[in-house]
């Protein structure tokens, strides 16, 4: 579908599960070389091995600048370039009243989602600028666009990701580097399914609130990533693309109006 992606080296943080894993499979199907950087080293290496011998799995805590730089240096040493960076690494936030929230967890969430995205992008950009070409795809969220009760750190981090996507898109556009983000809605990842199974999220309410009437699949996000990395998106940079089934377009329940 996107033959131009075949020679690309694609670095995916958080690629051992969820949206990152879907991205790894999606880009591998296009023939790209995949590097999975994940806190779960065993899983990262196992998935890379399953994808094929040319792929690579590495351990990385994206909140640790030394580890981030080591990953990028390893990629450059092995492959000579990095064409696409996909920042998927993240952790779940703790949904509880604000006055009960833990500052250590607040800072850790910002470190992983926002600072980790920034540091990995900065490290890769050093080489992309030399190449004269590159593509960065960040994972924001509808939580960075609309208000979600209790989700202070997560929402702040995701809003920050959308903003650095804009600023970097402006800075590097003339240098041939495109920077975009995706704002997923409610996506049925294994983590979200576990939350549903625990009774912490009502799937029926989410589906009723979503104009398309159902939750998304990880492959929906991977498809958007493939598009943004492709030549078909050659004149797109600095944007955050909602992939949410219309969730952020929703204004009021349709049954509130009689039609008279």
Active site residues: 154
* Cβ proximity of 34 and 15 under 8 Å: yes
Tell me the CA end-to-end span of the chain in Å, nearest whole number.
47
Number of other residues whose CB lies within 10 A of the CB of residue 38 = 28
Nearest-CA neighbor of 22 among 127, 137, 165? 137
- Beta strand pairing call for 33-38 and 56-59: parallel
């Amino acid at each position: 579908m996107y033959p131009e992606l075949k020679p690309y080296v694609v670095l995916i943080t958080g690629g051992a599960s969820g949206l990152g894993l879907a991205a790894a499979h999606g880009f591998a199907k296009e023939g790209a070389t995949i590097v999975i950087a994940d806190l779960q080293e065993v899983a990262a290496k196992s998935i890379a091995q399953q994808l094929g011998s040319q792929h690579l799995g590495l351990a990385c805590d994206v909140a640790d600048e030394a580890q981030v730089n080591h990953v990028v240096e390893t990629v450059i040493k092995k492959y000579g370039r990095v064409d696409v960076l996909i920042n998927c690494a993240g952790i779940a936030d703790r949904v509880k009243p604000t006055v009960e929230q833990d500052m250590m967890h607040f800072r850790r969430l910002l470190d992983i989602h926002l600072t980790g995205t920034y540091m990995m992008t900065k490290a890769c950009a050093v080489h992309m600028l030399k190449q004269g070409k590159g593509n960065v795809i960040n994972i924001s969220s509808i939580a960075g666009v609309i208000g979600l009760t209790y989700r202070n750190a997560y929402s702040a981090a995701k809003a920050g990701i959308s903003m650095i996507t804009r600023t970097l898109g402006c800075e590097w556009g003339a240098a041939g580097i495109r920077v975009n983000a995706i704002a997923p809605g409610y996506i049925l990842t294994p983590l979200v399914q576990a939350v549903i199974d625990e009774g912490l999220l009502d799937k029926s309410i989410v589906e009723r609130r979503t104009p398309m009437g159902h939750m998304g699949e990880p492959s929906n996000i991977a498809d958007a990533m493939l598009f943004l990395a492709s030549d078909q998106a050659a004149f797109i940079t600095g944007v955050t693309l909602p992939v949410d089934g219309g969730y952020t377009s929703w204004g009021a329940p349709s049954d509130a109006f009689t039609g008279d």
